Structure 1
Amino acid sequence: MIKKMGVAWQLRLRMAERDMYSTTDLVPLLAERGVRLSREQVYRLVTAPPQRLSMDVLAALCDILTCTPNDLITVEVVNAQVAKEAGAAGGPPPPVQRSTIRRPPAS
Structure 2
Amino acid sequence: MQWNLRLRAAERGIWKSAQLRRMLTDAGLEISAGKMSSWWAGTPPTMRLEDLDVLCSVLECTPNDFMTPEPAKVAARRPKNSDAANGANHGQPGDTGDGPAVPPRFGKPRSTPPL
Structure 2 CA distance, aligned partners of 1:26 and 1:52?
Answer: 19
User: Could you tell me the percent identity over the aligned residues?
Assistant: 29
Code of the aligned partner of 2:16: S
The answer to whether the 8 A contact 1:10-1:71 is kept is: yes
> Do residues 44 (structure 1) and 42 (structure 2) align?
no
> What is the DSSP-based 3-state SS (H/G/I as helix, E as strand, rest coil) of the residue aligned with 1:80?
helix
Contact 1:14-1:72 at 8 Å conserved across structures: yes
Q: Which residue number corresponds to residue 105 of structure 1?
A: none
Q: 1:16 aligns with which of 1, 10, 25?
A: 10
* C-alpha spacing 1:96/1:29, structure 2 compared with 1 (3 Å): same
Please give the TM-score of this superposition, normalised by the length of structure 1: 0.72
CA change 1:87–1:79 in 2 (3 A) is closer
Q: Unpaired segments of 5 or more residues in structure 2?
A: 104-115
Q: Which of 20, 32, 40 in structure 1 is aligned with 2:26?
A: 32
Whether contact under 8 Å (2:84, 2:90) holds in the other structure is no
CA distance in 2 between partners of 1:51 and 1:30 (Å): 19
1:90 equivalent to 2:93? Answer no
* CA–CA separation in structure 2 for the residues paired with 1:9 and 1:87: 29
Structure 2 distance, partners of 1:97, 1:56, is: 48
Following the alignment from structure 2 to structure 1, what is the Cα–Cα distance between the partners of residues 90 and 2? 38
User: Relative contact order (C-alpha < 8 Å, sep 6+): which is higher?
Assistant: 1
The equivalences for 1:49-60 within 5 A come to 49-60=43-54
What is the TM-score when the length of structure 2 is the normalising length?
A: 0.67
Q: CA RMSD in A?
A: 2.3
Task: Please give the alpha-carbon distance, in whole angstroms, between the structure 2 residues aligned to 1:19 and 1:87.
Answer: 47
Q: 2-side partners of 1:35 and 1:85: how far apart?
A: 48
